[in-house]
Amino acid sequence: MTTSASMATTRADWSKTAVYYAAFITIGLVSAILGPTLPSLAENTKTIVGEIGFLFSARSLGYMTGAMFGARLFDRLPGHRLMAAMIVALSLTLAMTPIVHQIWLLTAVLFLTGVSENMVDVGGNTLLVWVHRDKVGPFMNGLHFFFGLGALFSPIVVAQVLMHSEGITWAYWLLALIILPVSPLLALQPSPTAIHNTTTTDQSTRKPTNIPLLLLIMGFFFLYVGMETGFGGWVFTYATTLGLVEETAAAYLTSVFWGALTLGRLVSIPLAARLRPRTILWLDLIGALVSVGLILIWQQTAAALWLGAAGLGFFFASIFPTTLALAERRMTITGQITGWIFVGVSLGGGALPWLMGILLESIAATAALWTILVGIFLAAGLLVLILRHEKVSTAASA
């Protein structure tokens, strides 16, 4: 009976994990479509590319709003139903985006996209931890692999639409239809039990919230997500501005970045079970530094841009899930804690791409890449502080 129950639980855990993976494909599709379509959205709303970069900030403001006020709902409500409702909302905002021609209204639509995207993101990360607990490392890398899978295919859809039709409307509408079936898949699955609702024995093993460490991790995510979103969002404009590739090829270049990120997350799944998080993170930052340096040194060489974009995606790949797994070792991950982590995520995802757009428009296209280079050095400094603080906390608890 014990073996049968254990197997049944394992099958249920795998079933929940599968729907989280499907949900992360949807937010990958949504996240990566904005960058390759920015010039068309600027044309739709009669604004310049530098100004249209504000849409990143609008989406990130919505993302932060979801993190601050919506994330705690996962501690109180059935998580799967909440995620299912947000996927329906994502589908609706996707469908509206290409047909809105007023910049203020498009900003509002992107704000709502950010709120919905955050709720799916926080939900998947939080519920996966509740399902797998201290064994979550490889599963977390798998979760973000499927995000990368969605982000890989999104620019490909845009490129195909640009080749076979005028405008970007059908790209948005097609993706809006693709993500809808995930909603009922989530709604039909029973939601996992929140950590704070588990037994007294489990309660005694809960780790306290380490506020200084949480703030450091938020800062680290601010930099990382800002760099990832900024490069993925602006590489299309960067490549076409310098005349290195034409529009269709630039859309595929965006896919190369997200595809390399997807491959990197697939590779990181077995690595997460063998290497310590700190080792993975240092390898990631060093590899990202080399990749950006390659693009900056050979600025007028298309091959360097393609290779650098692939390298940056590959080495960025495991930073997000590995840092979350590192946080889980020192803190109990509740919906509220995940929400605060994602405040850092949303601030970075809005501020740095917005800054990169201004620099790209007002100074030079390469200024956006110098922002990423500086960001990598700052992230390395924060990682030193995180690991030092974690070591001190571990010694104190011992």
Residue 26: per-residue pLDDT: 92
- Report the half-sphere exposure of 54 (CA within 13 A, side-chain side): 13
Residue 333: per-residue pLDDT: 66
Nearest to 13 by CA among 193, 173, 177, 158: 193
In terms of phi and psi (left: phi > 0; alpha: psi -120 to 50; beta: otherwise), the region of 189 is beta
Q: Taking a C-beta distance cutoff of 8 angstroms, is the pair 168, 40 a contact?
A: yes
> pLDDT tens digits for the chain (398 residues)?
334 434 444 777 888 899 999 999 999 899 888 877 888 888 888 887 667 767 877 887 888 888 777 777 887 888 899 999 999 999 999 999 999 989 889 999 999 999 999 899 888 888 888 888 767 777 887 888 898 788 878 878 888 887 787 788 999 999 999 999 999 999 988 888 766 554 433 444 555 667 888 899 899 999 999 999 888 888 888 888 888 888 788 888 888 898 898 888 888 888 877 888 889 999 999 999 999 999 999 988 889 999 999 999 999 988 988 888 787 777 766 667 777 888 888 888 878 888 888 887 778 778 888 999 999 999 999 999 988 876 555 444 44
Residue 81: per-residue pLDDT: 93
Q: Taking a C-beta distance cutoff of 8 angstroms, is the pair 284, 291 a contact?
A: no
Residue 201: per-residue pLDDT: 39
Nearest to 49 by CA among 234, 257, 305: 234
* Domains of the chain, each with CATH number or no CATH: 13-191+208-393 (1.20.1250.20)
Helical pair 247-272 and 319-330, crossing angle rounded to 10 deg = 30
Residue 398: per-residue pLDDT: 42
Regarding pTM above 0.75, the answer is no
Q: Taking a C-beta distance cutoff of 8 angstroms, is the pair 23, 120 a contact?
A: yes
Residue 50: per-residue pLDDT: 63
Q: Taking a C-beta distance cutoff of 8 angstroms, is the pair 379, 90 a contact?
A: no
